[in-house]
Amino acid sequence: MNSSKLWTLCRIVVFIMVILIFSPLVIPVGKADPFLLGMPYTLWMGFLVSLILLALTIIGSFVHPGRDE
């Protein structure tokens, strides 16, 4: 897969992530369970989402078609 396609894929994944962020999967209303490492669900899920977004930014910066301009 060339870098242009990978960059498009990155953008699609970020778009899907944004939809998921506002779904009950990440922010269920009034629900703190299950806890992970002592943290309530929305918090550890928020951390996970943040790390995935950061990883996508890192990947995106390497496959961006304009990287060498």
Partner 1 sequence: MKGTLLIAGTIYILLLVAFTMLTKTKEKDSKSYFLAGANLGSILGLFTFAATLFSTFTLLGMPEFFRTHGVGAWIFLAVSDLVMVFILLWIGYHLRKKTRGQAYLGMAGFMEKCYESRLAGIVAFLGAFIFLIPYVAIQIRGVATFLQGASENGLPLWVYAVGMVVIMLIYSEIGGLKAIIYSDTLQGILLLIIIWMIGISCLNKLGGLTSTFEQINAQNEALLSIPGPKGLLNFQFLFGSMVAICMIPFTQPQVSTRLIIMKNERSLFRTAIGLGTFAILVILPTLFIGMYGAIKYADASIPEFQAQSLIHDQAGYLGAFMIIGLVAAAISTADSQIFALGGETRSLLKGEDKSMVKIARIGIFIFAGLALIFALKTSDQLVLLARSSFMGTALLAPMIFTGIFYERANRIITLPWLTLGAIIIFILTELDVTPKTFLAVRADLILLGVLGLYALISVMSDKRRA
The footprint of partner 1 (CB under 8 A) covers: 10-11, 14, 17-18, 21-22, 26-32, 35, 37-43, 46-47, 49-51, 53-54, 56-58, 60-61, 64, 66-69
Question: Which residue lies nearer to partner 1 by CB, 1 or 24?
Answer: 24
Least Å distance, CB 38 to partner 1, is 3
Q: Which two tokens stand for residue 9?
A: 């894929």
SS3 call for 63:
helix
Helices 41-63, 3-21: crossing angle, 10 deg rounding:
160
Q: Are 45 and 26 in contact (CB under 8 A)?
A: yes
Least Å distance, CB 3 to partner 1, is 13
Least Å distance, CB 1 to partner 1, is 19
Q: Are 5 and 59 in contact (CB under 8 A)?
A: no
